[in-house]
């Protein structure tokens, strides 16, 4: 569990390196798209977000408890992240973009993750 605000750069790096090695090319953080997606595949109109499990609510979805210290703060913060993530994906979808979220915990098995990525990117 990482108590650092902002992007989890090592997570993003792991995902980028994997996708690059799979032969896909992408742009990063296109500011003209909702949520500035981490990876953008313009020709395919697809984007990928690499999300840390704690900050983006995946840990809670899987039954983890909030840290006891400042529990209310974490919960509010994570809930607002979840809402923002959902809004961004909706906005992207309305503009004709498909989104995939790669969770931090998925980088534990890159072989399975690569299959999922290939399924999404085609």
Task: Using alpha carbons, select from 59, 62, 37, 35 the residue that is nearest to residue 120.
Answer: 37
Return the residue matching tokens 């906005």: 91
Among 18, 101, 105, 110, binds Zn ion (CB under 5 A): 105
Q: Are residues 22 and 74 in contact, defined by beta-carbon separation less than 8 angstroms?
A: no
Q: Are residues 99 and 89 in contact, defined by beta-carbon separation less than 8 angstroms?
A: yes
CB of 52 to Zn ion, least distance (A): 8
Among 24, 41, 49, 103, binds Zn ion (CB under 5 A): 103
Among 15, 48, 53, 78, binds Zn ion (CB under 5 A): 53
51 binds Zn ion, rule: CB under 5 A: no
CB of 62 to Zn ion, least distance (A): 6
**CB-nearer residue toward Zn ion: 91 or 105:** 105
Among 33, 48, 58, 88, binds Zn ion (CB under 5 A): 58
Task: Using alpha carbons, select from 74, 76, 122, 77 the residue that is nearest to residue 100.
Answer: 122
């Amino acid at each position: 569990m990482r108590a650092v605000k902002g992007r989890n750069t090592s997570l993003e790096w792991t995902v980028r390196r994997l996708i690059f090695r799979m032969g896909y090319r992408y742009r990063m953080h296109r500011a003209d798209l909702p949520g500035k997606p981490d990876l953008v595949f313009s020709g395919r109109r697809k984007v990928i977000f690499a999300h840390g499990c704690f900050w983006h609510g995946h840990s809670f979805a899987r039954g983890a408890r909030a840290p006891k210290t400042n529990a209310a703060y974490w919960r509010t913060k994570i809930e607002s992240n979840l809402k923002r993530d959902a809004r961004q994906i909706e906005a992207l979808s309305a503009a004709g973009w498909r989104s995939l979220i790669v969770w931090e915990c998925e980088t534990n098995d890159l072989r399975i993750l690569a299959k999922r990525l290939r399924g999404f990117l085609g």
